[in-house]
Amino acid sequence: MRIVRELFGLKPEGVESGGDTIRRIADELDRLEPDRAKYLASFAFILSRVANADHEVSPEEVATMETLVVDKGGVSGDQAVLVVQMARTQQKLFGATDDFLVTRELSRVASYEQKLALIDCLYAVAAADERIFMAEADEISRIGKELKVDRGDLSRLRSQYREFLEARKGLSSGS
């Protein structure tokens, strides 16, 4: 892993690099106001975190992430494709190191309403392939805790996607 970090000019393992991940994505969107670009980069990175929780990112999840980045970020489709691709790559390469750091940075700058909207978006990404795996639901729960979202609000958002939750798949309505 050290060699990969050196090739990309990144800090050695153990050195806080969440900001580096955000900046790398934000640099591609230099036409945006810097704080907005960093927020968008964080948003896309966290979406990728959930999409990759089950170690497989489906085409439906990618399409949903791109749509959400356009809708929530106010960027073009081409910019959204770039943001999502870069976020996915960064998350895949450095996710274990940067997951908490990026989420903590977003938590610092986001309003509570933005945090709730993000959790809803995370469930939308996880449900894009019509099934939310336990790994995805667990990751969303972890992110909610990192964002300091109230447990009641997390439960309310989760319940809106209950038909897609893995534990409920295959159960009849009478079960």
pLDDT tens across 19-36, in order? 666 666 656 567 778 788
**Token pair of 131 as six digits:** 């099934």
Q: From residue 13, how far is each of 1, 92, 93, 121 by CA, in Å?
A: 8, 15, 12, 30
pTM of the model: 0.78
- Rounded Cα distance, 45 and 102, in Å: 8
**Token pair of 141 as six digits:** 């729960």
Distance of alpha carbon 165 from the chain centroid: 18
Output the pLDDT for position 135: 94
Decide if 46 contacts 106 (C-beta within 8 A): yes
pLDDT exceeds cutoff 70 at 120: yes
pLDDT tens across 34-77, in order? 788 888 889 999 999 999 999 999 999 999 999 999 999 888 88
pLDDT exceeds cutoff 50 at 7: no
